[in-house]
Each structure stands twice: as C-alpha cells, then as structure tokens.
Structure 1
Amino acid sequence: MERVRRLATAGVTVTLALGAGHYMEASAQRARDDLRPTHVIPVSAEIPAAETAQTAESPAPKLPQGSPTAGSDTEAACLTGLTLAAEPAAMLALTITAPCRADERVVLRHGGLAVTGRLSSAGHLSTHLPALDTQGRVAVLFADGSQAEAAQPIPEAAAVHRFGVQWLGAHGIEVHAFNGPVQHGGPGHVSAVDPGRTSGRGGFLSLLGEAEVPLPMLAEIYTFPIADPRATVQLEAEVRASTCGRALLAEVVESVGGRTSVTELTLDMPACDGVGGHIVLKNLPRDLNMAASR
C-alpha cells in the first residue's frame, strides 16, 4: 500500500557543476546539523589523469628515534595498502589496510563520488563502490591529509546507467526507483528499505558511506540497464525537525555509458509546520524539476 504523506511546499534550486564538485573538508568542519548552511564550495574529487600509478601509499608517520632495525620494522608495520578488484554488476571491491590508523575516519573518492568510511580497530576496511567510469580510479583521503590511490579498469561501467545523490550530514535526500508502473512499497519499488541485489533482475540501490563518524558524507546510487525504458527515478527528502525551514545541500551524480556528471542541488525545506511531509522530485534524471510535494 502506498504511504500516505501530507502536502508540503518547498523551492528547488539546481545549478550545473562545472566539474566534479564536492564539499571541501574545510567547509565540512564548519557544517553542523543545527546550523543553516549558506553555501557549498565545490572542489574536484577526480584524480589527475597524469597520475598513472596503480597504487600509491600514504607517507609513513614519523617514528621515534631508535635502532635502525627497530625503526625499519615499525615503518614496515605501518605501511598503508589499497587494493581494488572488479566484481559483477560493474562494482568495485575496495580493501584498505592501515595498521597504524585504527578507527580512523577516511574519505573514499571515485568519479565525482565522495563518501566517508571508518577503519576497524585493526586499521582495516572492506567495502564496495559502484564504478562510475571505466577507468575505476579510487583515492582514499586520510585524516592527516595523505592519501592512497589505485585503479581497476571496469569496462562494464559503460553498459549501465547510474543515478543518485550525495550529501553531507546525518539527514539527506533519498533515492526511490520504480521498475514499471508500481507504487510506494509495492513490488518493483527500490529504496533504502528494499535496495535490491546486484545479482537480481532490474536495478539495485547502493547505500554508501559511514554515518557514524564526524561529518558523515553519504550517498545513494541507483544502477539499472542503460537501455531500460521502464526505470524511473525520483528523489525524496523528509521534512524533519532538524531540516525544516533550512536548505538541504546535495549533489546529483549521474553516470551514463561510463561518463559521469555532477549537478549541485539545493532544497529549501518547508517551515516546521510541515514536519512529517516529504519533498518529491520526479522526472529524473532527464529533468531536475520539482514535480510534487506530498
């Protein structure tokens, strides 16, 4: 049964990004859920094309003075590693090994996408990213500003259509996809509640980013066959007490045939008497127009 939602009103501002724009870490340090954001400074999240090395390790931390043998052993134990592997459905399997970076917050960047992760107590992280381009270049940014880089070509990325949204903070914008003429909650409705599977028929949703870190950077990316005429995608934002009466800042990420574009999106949320309603953007990704609020 389709969920009942009461009407709310809001304004939408959409501007085309000149490059793969992302929230700068410096701007993120000033952002909090209890403040009304005023602007976003986009910076490129792409790895420069001139850098062709398959992997690059971050600099080792400074070591205490000691015997050369002990120092060499400690340095080797603290090396950071990043490995990538190709998986079905044009997915990238990513593994980080950083024994001296226990529980550290990291930022994973790929093809215009930027999401947070968190290393385990042993300095390990394994996760998946949807390949947004065929080069499969990934960078991992650590807390001290160093980064590790790797590349894994994914030719299959040219055969899928990916569409989604990324944002900074605990509450953002949801992706809802419909395979055919279906309603909310019905068969064929893909969302965070039922994201589908990479091995299943039709599309699936990737829920990306670690929310339980300071200044989380999160994303939802929907993947479907590039020639599928049945798939429709819409974005929704719930009007919450923490978001009413303020602007939600996000970026729409789209990849078609292995070519990625990023579009900045600002949602002016309704006043707080609209809490419980949802803002709905339909006719996506062809248009970024506000079609309805419910």
Structure 2
Amino acid sequence: MLQTFVLQKKGIATAAGTLTCALAIGFVMQSTDTAQQRYGVAGNAIPMVKTIDASDPANSLLDVQAIKLTSAEFSSGIEVPQSDPEVVKVASPKSVLPEPVLPTMEIADACTISAVAQPIAAAMVKLSMEAPCLPNERVTVHHNGMIFTETTTFNGTLDLTVPALATDAVFIMAFTNGDGAVAQTMVEDLADFDRSVLQWKGNTGFQIHAREFGAGYGETGHLWESAPGEIADAVTGNGGVLTRHGDTNAGDPLLAEVYSFPSDTNGRSGIIALSVEAEITEANCGLEIEAQSLEVLGDYSIKTQNLTLPVPDCDEIGGFLVLNNLLQDLKVAAK
C-alpha cells in the first residue's frame, strides 16, 4: 500500500484514501486500462510510423500526370504544286530551343522526415529531427516505455536531450497524422547511472523529489523541479540531476521527469530518498489523477507502477500529496 500524506503550508496531515497501484516488472508498455486511457495505445503496440518515399509520386505536393507535348497542325493557305520540278522538298529544321523542364520530386524530398540520435555525457542522448513540412506540430516521443509530447519549431525542427533507458536506445517520434521517424544509438555508460522516471498526462501537479544523503527540504542535495541540479555534477559524480521533458504549453500534454544519479562515480555512501508529490491546485482538486513510474533495474529491465490518486477537495488547495514509496529509495556506496 502506498503511503500518502497531505502537506499543508502549516503542518502535516495524513490523508485518507486508497491508491490503486498495479505492478508490472520487466516488460515495457504493459497492457492496462490505465495505460490505454493515458496514452491512447492498446497494449504494447507501437504507433505506426510512416516515412515519406520521395520516389512515390503520390507523396508529391504537385501531382503531374499525363502531360503531352504537342505541336500545332495548321495550313499556310498556299498551294504547292506537287508536280513542279522546281520545288524541292526538305525536312523541317530541328528546333534549337531547349526542351521544357518537367517538374521533379524535389518538393517531396524537402518534406522527408529525418531523425538522428547521438550519445553524449551522463548517459544522455542528443535527439534531433527535421520535418520541414510539419512546423509548429505536436509530436510524441517514445523511448523504452517513456512517453512525452513536444512541439516542432516554426521551421519543423526538434532538438532535445533525453536520458537513455536502454543501452541500445531507440527513439520513435510520431506525429498525429501518422508520419514520423525513428533514430537509434548505443549508450555505453548507462550502467554507470541509476535512473527513475515519473510520467503523467496534463496539468496534474506531479513532481519527483530526491533528497540525497539525508538532505532536508530546501537544503543542498534536495533536488526537485525548482532545484534540478546540474548535468555536470552527474558527469563528475558530485550529485544527481533531475530533468523534465515535454511541452507544457501543448494541449493536454504527456510529461515526464527523470532523476539520474551517477552510482558508478559517486564518492559517498548512503541513502537517496525518492518521493513523488502532487500539489493540490484548482486544476486537480477533487479529481482522480494518474501517473506511471519507470525504474531501470540492474539487468536493464524496466519496473513499472501505475498510480491512480484521489486528490482532496478544493478547500485543501495549497497542500501537497506525498507518496514515499512509489519510487524506490536508492542505496549507494562510495566508489
């Protein structure tokens, strides 16, 4: 049973209520009612991704078919005696004008969607996509069970830094019209990091809080949305880092937070306390909100938990719900 607390601005009160938490270990994208409702994906199916084939005329913005080049037939109105021996028949000269240039498939080529994934420090991946014909469009990024939505720029590009959840990291970027792209790369240093993910849909107020080695709220070592830490610290082993993914300005977005800790280069021993919190706001008070946690295990399998959380009524606005055991605390040893 998950422990749930309501933190008020003045004091702490235990919240009554039962949380429904279904556990599935190993297989990513388990088929559950919660997952289907949140992500709109049936079971563990991956959305169909279609890339534009520039060689197929059906994909061209300009469809040119059955063009015929003809020359006009006309009479000069002058009769030429066929039997007159003074008349010499000659072939008409070849035109010196250049042949007309037919439309090519360059327009279709310009609309091709492409994506590249490149491993960088701290077991992160630099993800880039070009979709020139899909500017300012919603796109959903899928990676090993983690899902979040972004929006392309005015010229149809997308540049992200995403924590890897697998050494053989595959990223799927899918548009709402079914188009998309796939990028893949190897992330050799993933084994050097502990990684925990929380993901949800919409403005539900969820947050990961990591308190490293006994740090209290607001102290050095307490990482959360307003104090996420630095990737440089995760690279050097000085501390963890919290990253948030997804466009909060998109309509009903899918969002994710990822906590990463450099367990292989850390110089301290102790406990990192991980909790999930949700602020009670006008947007979620009196409702049931849902989230999913993903944790990368030692064998690179993914442990998932689905959460349905009843939020107290609106007279509790300003408080926080605290879940202390949705994410497993990390026990780390000095290296």
Show the counterpart of 2:154: 121
Find the counterpart in structure 2 of residue 7 from structure 1.
Answer: 13
Distance 1:42 1:267, change over 3 A: farther
Q: 1:59 is matched with which residue: 52, 55, 63?
A: 52
**Counterpart AA for 1:277:** G
Tell me, yes or no, if structure 1 residue 211 matches structure 2 residue 248: yes
Secondary structure class of the residue paired with 1:70:
coil
Distance, in Å, in 2 between the alignment partners of 1:223 and 1:69 is 55
Amino acid of the structure 2 residue aligned with 1:21 = M
Q: Is residue 159 from structure 1 mapped to residue 214 from structure 2 by the alignment?
A: no
Seen in structure 2, the aligned counterparts of structure 1 residues 11 and 277 have a Cα distance that, compared at 3 Å, is: farther
CA shift for structure 1 position 242: 1.7
Q: Is the 8 A contact 1:160 1:256 kept in 2?
A: no
Does the CA contact (< 8 Å) of 1:5 and 1:276 recur in 2?
Answer: no
Q: Which residue of 2 aligns with 1:146?
A: 179
Q: Deviations over 1:77-124 (max 9, x none)?
A: 111110010000000100010100010100001011000011001000
Secondary structure class of the residue paired with 1:199: helix
Whether the 8 Å contact between 1:57 and 1:149 is mirrored in structure 2 is: no
Q: Is the 8 A contact 1:7 1:278 kept in 2?
A: no
Q: Structure 1, unaligned stretches of length 5 or more?
A: 30-39, 49-55, 288-294
Distance of 1:86 and 1:69 partners within structure 2: 43
User: Equivalent residue of 1:230, what SS?
Assistant: strand
Counterpart amino acid of 2:44? S
Report SS of the residue matched to 1:75.
helix
Q: AA paired with 1:232?
A: A
Q: Where does residue 192 of structure 1 map in the other structure? A: 225
* Deviation digits for residues 228-258 of structure 1 (CA, Å, limit 9, x no counterpart): 6331211001111221111111111111333
Q: TM-score, normalised on structure 2? A: 0.72
Contact 1:93 1:128 in 2 (8 A): yes
Question: 1:292 is matched with which residue?
Answer: none
User: CA contact under 8 A between 1:82 and 1:95: conserved in structure 2?
Assistant: yes
SS in 1 for 2:168: coil
1:1-294 equivalences under 5 Å are 4=10, 6-7=12-13, 9=15, 10-17=17-24, 19-21=27-29, 27=37, 43-44=43-44, 58-59=51-52, 61-66=59-64, 70-200=103-233, 201-226=238-263, 229-257=270-298, 258-283=300-325, 285-286=327-328
Equivalent-residue separation in structure 2 for 1:135 and 1:125 (angstroms): 21
Deviation at 1:8, TM superposition (A): 5.6
Between the aligned residues of both structures, percent identity stands at: 28
Q: Report if the CA contact (8 A) 1:205-1:220 is conserved.
A: yes
CA RMSD after TM alignment: 2.9
Q: Quick check: 1:112–1:261 contact (8 Å CA) kept in 2?
A: no
Q: Is the 8 A contact 1:105 1:116 kept in 2?
A: yes
Is contact 1:82–1:94 with CA below 8 Å preserved after alignment? Answer: yes
In 1, the alpha carbon distance for the partners of 2:38 and 2:277 equals 23
How many residues in Structure 1 have an aligned counterpart in Structure 2?
269
Q: Distance in 1 between matches of 2:186 and 2:45?
A: 18
Query: 2:60–2:107: 8 Å Cα contact kept in structure 1?
Result: no
CA contact (8 A) 2:166 2:187 kept: yes
* 3-state SS in 2 of match to 1:74: helix
SS of the equivalent of 2:274 reads strand
Q: Is the 8 A contact 1:175 1:236 kept in 2?
A: yes
Equivalent position amino acid for 1:7 in 2: A
CA distance in 1, matches of 2:104, 2:36: 34
